[in-house]
């Protein structure tokens, strides 16, 4: 049984389990899932996922990664994380991805909402930021639905297969008085 950290209507954020690594490895090697993540051309070995998991367990203060679990089936659908957590400056970078079969159901939007709740209420951060490549319209919508605003743009900064060099957009969301 997976410990649940925060529960939403559609999905919950749970503790990643070693048993999740096989799915993560398959998803990370799916070119459609990988396209808009950092290093889209990278190929991952299963051992890479084992090393990632062990590093995650050791870096508890700077990284918080959650399994995104669909509530009705208890199925793992993706991951969401707060990275480079800086308690002194009060910010962290948000990252997330879902398996292709779970796109379009509102799971990412709710997972981001829950991750923000964790960041602001439990970590006492004042700001969360995210980087997204301009052709990733779905991810931009997820961020905007969760109150993120465009803060900057790095022009033709990153190569995305099928799109060429694209702008990298930087979004930020500050903690509201009432979350």
Query: Rounded mean pLDDT of 156-179?
Result: 90
Total-model pTM: 0.94
Res 60: pLDDT:
72
Q: Which CATH code, of 3.40.50.1980, 3.50.50.60, 3.40.1190.20, 3.40.630.30, is assigned to 4-174? A: 3.40.630.30
Res 179: pLDDT:
45
Res 12: pLDDT:
98
Res 7: pLDDT:
98
The set of residues, in sequence order, having a beta carbon less than 8 Å from that of 83 and lying 6+ positions away, is 62, 63, 92, 93, 94, 95
Res 177: pLDDT:
63
3-state DSSP call for residue 88?
coil
- DSSP H or E stretch at residue 179: none
User: Domain limits of the chain?
Assistant: 4-174
* Tens digit of each residue's pLDDT (9 = 90 or more) over 69-118: 999 999 999 999 999 999 999 999 999 999 999 999 999 999 999 999 99
Rounded to the nearest 5 percent, the helix, strand and coil shares of the chain are 30, 35, 35
Assigned token pair, 125: 């951060």
Residue 91: Cβ within 10 Å count:
19
Residue 1: pLDDT band with limits 50, 70, 90: confident
* Tens digit of each residue's pLDDT (9 = 90 or more) over 21-76: 999 999 989 999 989 988 888 899 999 999 999 998 887 778 999 999 999 999 99
Residue 176 has pLDDT above 90, yes or no: no
């Amino acid at each position: 049984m997976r410990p649940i950290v925060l529960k939403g209507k559609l999905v919950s954020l749970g503790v990643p389990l070693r048993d999740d690594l096989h799915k993560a490895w398959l998803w990370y090697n799916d070119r459609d899932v990988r396209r808009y993540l950092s290093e889209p051309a990278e190929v991952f070995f299963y051992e890479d996922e084992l090393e990632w998991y062990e590093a995650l367990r050791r870096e508890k203060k700077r990284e918080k990664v959650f399994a995104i679990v669909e509530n009705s089936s208890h199925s793992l659908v993706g991951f969401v994380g707060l990275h480079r957590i800086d308690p002194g400056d009060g910010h962290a970078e948000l990252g997330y991805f879902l398996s292709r079969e779970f796109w379009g159901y509102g799971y990412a939007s709710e997972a981001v909402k829950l991750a923000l709740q964790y960041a602001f209420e439990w970590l006492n951060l004042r700001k969360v930021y995210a980087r997204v490549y301009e052709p990733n319209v779905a991810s931009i919508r997820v961020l905007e639905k969760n109150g993120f605003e465009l803060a900057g743009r790095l022009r033709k900064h990153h190569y995305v297969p099928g799109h060429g060099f694209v702008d990298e957009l930087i979004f930020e969301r500050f903690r509201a008085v009432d979350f």
